[in-house]
Structures are given as C-alpha cells and as structure tokens.
C-alpha cells in the first residue's frame, strides 16, 4: 500500500490526509475464552415445586352430541382465548347487572357479514348501551334498510369509475347530513331518524334505526375521503364535520360514564380505536377517572391501534384489556349467546 501524501495546511504545517475506508487496517481480534461446563452437576427440582401455567382445572372436556349451549361452553378450556371469552362474558353481564354501560364501537365489516340482527337483539335487551360506527357504517346500514342489500365488488367498479356511485346512497345520505347540521343533530341520530320516518322496508334490521327508536345513543365518526358518499357532488364537508364532531362530543360523554363498564371494539383497525382513546382522554381531562374499565378487541386480525388504544393504554391504571381473535360472523354470535346465558342464569355454578 502506498503511503498517503501529505499536504501543507493553511498555516504552513504539513498534515497527513486521512486514509480512505479501503485503506484502513484492522488487526485480528482474539476469540473469547471458552467456558467449560460440568454437565454432570446440572441441578434439578421436584416437579411438584415448579410453577405451571396449565393444570387439570383449566383444561377442557370432551364433547358429545346433544349438548346444550351452556354445557358446550362449560366444556371449553379456561386457557388463552377461551379464558378471555369467559372473562369478557362475565364482565359484560356484571356491568349490566350493576347498571354500568357497555359501549360497542365497530367498523362496517360486521354489518356486511350479517351481524345486524344479533346486535339489534342486544340493543333491544338493554345489554348494549351505546353504539359507535365509522363513516362506512351508515352506508351499509342505510343500504340494508332501504334496499335489503349492500356491499359491491370494488375491482370492476373501480376500473370503470362506477365504484361507490349508487345514486340514492349518495344523494339521500348527504341530504340527511346537511339537514342534520342545520338542525343541530348528530350524524348517527339523524340517519336513524331518517330511516324510521321513511319506514324503509328493512328498518327492523337497521342498527341506527333501532338506536333511534330505543333512545340509545348512536354516534358516527367520519374521516373525510374514506367513504363513497364523499365522492358525490352533494357531499358537504362542513356538514359532515359538524355532525361528526357533535357525535365525538357525545361519545366522550358516554365514555366518561364507563367506570366499571365495558368498551368493545368490533372490527375497527384505525378509526374507532383512535376516536375512543381521544374521547377517553377528553373525559379524564374534564375530571372523570373512567376506571376500572374492561376493554375488549374482537377482530380477525390483531392490529396495532386496537392493541394500544383499546387494550393497553385505557386499562393501565385500572381494569383489564382482552383480545379475542376470530371471524366476526362466528365470534360475535358466540359472545352474544354466552352473555344471554350468563344473564339468564346468574347463579349457575361454574364447572368443577
């Protein structure tokens, strides 16, 4: 390797130029000393003294034909998700027995997989005490009420520019939103009232119409540009913002009263978890501790925001967060039936 040439500095002194990376010489480093273990002296302890996470009191039992739902449920293991399901059921049932709230926040997918009748039933029985949707929720709920069908194949429609451009959906919902802003109504209440007043043929299966009929708070939380009705020329951003902000304030009041209650996040990966944690913070900022609280995330994938904004952060100073993962169309009906069984037989002894 040729030596680096020196060059004079501004003061006349000779300064050697720094070597390039390719010219650096790193001497070989010694290996660490080898550790010698005496394997024949390995220590052991009695199994009876070792803590174990699973024992015979937790494992499930075999199934057989003709079991009742309660017997089937009792035979599930009390481990991991099955244990969390039991805790979720107990927390919801106990909250309602004590007059505490059970708030459901959900995305639109549960509507699209046919869960409206199960949710309507829980609303009518007074088990769910409030409902919060994202912006897509009003679209699918409205379309089911007016037409008995919803959800479209995005791919072909997107190719031709027809996706999301159903005339009635955009025109009617955007008019309802404008009228709600004028009248000082929240978005959820306004859509539910419209469905009931128009007596749409499938209004009995509408979540928002059910809430409006029962006087149950229903809120809708919109991100501008995420919903198909925002593409229609009738969309009014000021009206959407005003009605959705009013619903956010309503949700903050609901959350402020959830101490000893339950918040359920059903199939919302971003919007509802973000809205919930802000509503919780606003409630605590205004003097409501909102603890202890049980929070439950039900989804078929585990996402970041529900994990921190629904499960971890709200319960860090009191309560418990639960995550039960599975398909909505199977998991939620299972949860609903288990809650009904618990409330119908509150003194039932647990399985041995």
Q: How confident is the model at residue 352 (pLDDT cuts 50, 70, 90)?
A: very low
Looking at residue 71, what is its pLDDT?
Answer: 96
Looking at residue 25, what is its pLDDT?
Answer: 87
Residue 49 pLDDT greater than 90, yes or no: yes
| Mean pLDDT, all residues of the chain | 93
Number of other CB atoms surrounding residue 326 within 10 Å: 15
pTM of the predicted model as reported, rounded to 2 decimal places = 0.88
As a whole number of angstroms, the distance between CA 112 and CA 173 comes to 18
Looking at residue 23, what is its pLDDT?
Answer: 79
Residue 351 pLDDT greater than 50, yes or no: no
For residue 272, the number of C-alpha atoms closer than 13 Å in the C-beta half-sphere is 34
Q: What's the start-to-end Cα distance of the chain, in Å? A: 81
As a whole number of angstroms, the distance between CA 110 and CA 270 comes to 15
Q: How large is the average pLDDT for residues 308-320? A: 97
pLDDT in tens, 187-240: 999 999 999 999 999 999 999 999 999 999 999 999 999 999 999 999 999 999
Q: Decide if 85 contacts 334 (C-beta within 8 A).
A: yes
Q: How large is the average pLDDT for residues 314-341? A: 97
At 207 the three-state DSSP class reads: helix
Residue 15 pLDDT greater than 90, yes or no: no
Tokens of 299: 């989804």
As a whole number of angstroms, the distance between CA 71 and CA 74 comes to 5
Residue 295 pLDDT greater than 90, yes or no: yes
Fold for 72-136+217-344, please state it: Deoxyhypusine Synthase (3.40.910)
As a whole number of angstroms, the distance between CA 162 and CA 178 comes to 24
DSSP secondary-structure letter at 218? E
Q: Decide if 17 contacts 4 (C-beta within 8 A).
A: yes
Q: How confident is the model at residue 20 (pLDDT cuts 50, 70, 90)?
A: confident
Q: Which residue has the tokens 């128009």?
A: 198
Q: How confident is the model at residue 17 (pLDDT cuts 50, 70, 90)?
A: low
DSSP for 20-40? PGGG---PPPPPPPPP---GG
Looking at residue 350, what is its pLDDT?
Answer: 47
Closest CA to 297 of 269, 259, 260: 269
Residue 56 pLDDT greater than 90, yes or no: yes
Contacts (Cβ under 8 Å, ≥6 apart) of 227 = 135, 136, 139
Each domain of the chain, given as residue ranges in start order, spans 72-136+217-344
CA 137 distance to own-chain centroid: 14
Long-range contacts of 276-282 (CB under 8 A, 24+ apart): 276/105, 276/132, 276/251, 276/309, 276/310, 276/314, 277/309, 277/310, 277/313, 277/314, 278/248, 279/248, 279/251, 279/252, 279/254, 279/255, 280/255, 280/314, 282/252
């Amino acid at each position: 390797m040729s030596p680096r040439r020196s060059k004079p500095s501004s003061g006349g002194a000779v300064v050697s130029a720094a070597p390039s990376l390719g010219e650096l010489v790193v001497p070989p480093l010694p290996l660490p000393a080898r550790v010698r273990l005496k394997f024949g002296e390995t220590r052991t302890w009695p199994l009876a003294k070792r803590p174990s996470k699973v024992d015979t009191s937790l494992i499930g039992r075999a199934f057989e034909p003709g079991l009742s739902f309660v017997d089937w449920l009792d035979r599930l293991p009390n481990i991991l998700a099955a244990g969390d399901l039991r805790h979720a059921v107990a927390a919801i049932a106990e909250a309602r027995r004590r007059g505490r709230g059970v708030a459901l926040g959900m995305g639109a997918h549960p509507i699209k997989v046919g869960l409206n009748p199960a949710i309507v039933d829980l609303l009518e029985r007074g088990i769910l005490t409030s409902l919060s949707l994202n912006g897509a929720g009003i679209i699918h709920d409205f379309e089911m009420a007016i037409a008995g069908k919803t959800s479209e194949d995005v791919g072909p429609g997107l190719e031709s520019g027809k996706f999301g451009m159903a005339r009635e959906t955009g025109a009617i919902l955007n008019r309802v939103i404008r009228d709600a802003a004028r009248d000082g109504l929240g978005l959820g209440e306004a859509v539910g009232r419209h469905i009931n007043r128009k007596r749409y043929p499938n209004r009995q299966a509408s979540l928002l119409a059910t809430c409006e009929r029962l006087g149950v708070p229903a809120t809708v939380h919109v991100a501008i540009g995420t919903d198909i009705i925002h593409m229609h020329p009738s969309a009014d951003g000021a009206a959407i913002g005003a009605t959705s902000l009013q619903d956010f304030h309503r949700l903050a009041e609901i959350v402020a009263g959830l101490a000893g209650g339950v918040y359920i996040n059903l199939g919302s990966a971003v919007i509802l978890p973000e809205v919930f944690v802000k509503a919780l913070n606003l409630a605590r900022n205004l003097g409501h501790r909102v603890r202890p609280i049980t929070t439950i995330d039900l989804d078929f994938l585990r996402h970041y925001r529900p994990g921190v904004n629904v499960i971890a952060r709200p319960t860090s100073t009191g309560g418990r967060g639960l995550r039960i993962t599975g398909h909505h169309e199977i998991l939620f009906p299972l949860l609903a039936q288990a809650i009904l069984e618990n409330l119908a037989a509150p003194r039932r002894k647990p399985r041995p």
